[in-house]
Amino acid sequence: MPPEVQELQDAITSIPGITDAAVDKVDLSDVTESDFSLLPYADLPLGALKRTKGGLVNELAISVNFGITRDPKGLKALEFLSWWVRDLARAGEPMQIRSIALPPIGDQFGTSLRFCIDYFYADPEQDIGKLLSKVGTLADALNSAKSLYPQVIASRQCVHAEPASADDLTRLPP
């Protein structure tokens, strides 16, 4: 794994309440609207892609799929990452955060919820060095945000709570 990718993954997993994270790259340039209903495309950022009627020329999505603990610590981690993505998007970065879940069938209901940070990257030169530099910049930005708000990572020493049920998440204190 390239060091920049590892840095981004580590920056996210070091936040208390994050259970795991995986960085992936998806070529969106050949994705069309007619692909949206097909199963292999189900986890793509379809809402954003619908606005452009598919992927743009030379467009990639750098996606970070992550899970959270089912407790207040996990919700705070999600809130922090949501703020961070929103702040960067407001500053002009082409990114979003979204949730992903499987259909509510059988035992998977209430257990499949995950989250994804999508960064949309288009480079006509398709220069992998520039792409990795951007991933490194995102890792640096997240680490900087964490250092500006140390109370977010201060709870790292806390004892891990038992996972809660989906019903418990509606009763969490503010």
User: pLDDT value at position 153?
Assistant: 76
* Integer angstrom CA distances of residue 36 from 30, 55, 95: 12, 11, 20
Q: How far apart are CA 64 and CA 2, in angstroms?
A: 15
Residues 80-104 pLDDT 10s: 999 999 999 999 999 999 999 999 9
Q: Is residue 87 part of a domain?
A: yes
Cβ atoms of 165 and 109 closer than 8 Å: no
Name beta bridge partners: 24. 63
Q: Is residue 174 part of a domain?
A: no
* Residue 77's pLDDT band (cuts 50, 70, 90): very high
- CB-based burial of residue 22 (10 Å sphere; 0-12 exposed, 13-18 middle, 19+ buried)? middle
Domain range enclosing 43 = 3-169
Name beta bridge partners: 62. 25, 119
Q: What is the C-alpha radius of gyration for the chain, rounded to an integer number of angstroms? A: 17
Residues 13-56 pLDDT 10s: 999 999 999 999 999 999 988 888 888 888 888 889 888 888 89
Q: Residue 173 pLDDT more than 60?
A: no
* Contacts made by residues 88-94, CB under 8 angstroms, sequence distance 24+: 88/138, 88/141, 93/119, 94/119, 94/120, 94/121
User: pLDDT value at position 97?
Assistant: 98
Question: Which are the contacts of 36, defined by CB distance < 8 A and separation ≥ 6?
Answer: 44, 46, 49, 50
Q: Is residue 93 part of a domain?
A: yes
* Residue 154's pLDDT band (cuts 50, 70, 90): confident
How many domains does one find in the chain? Answer: 1
Phi, psi of 140 (to 5 degrees): -60, -40
* Residue 155's pLDDT band (cuts 50, 70, 90): low
Residues 99-139 pLDDT 10s: 999 999 999 998 999 999 999 999 999 899 999 999 999 99
Cβ atoms of 63 and 38 closer than 8 Å: no
- The reply to whether the predicted model has a pTM over 0.85 is no
Q: How far apart are CA 159 and CA 32, in angstroms?
A: 46
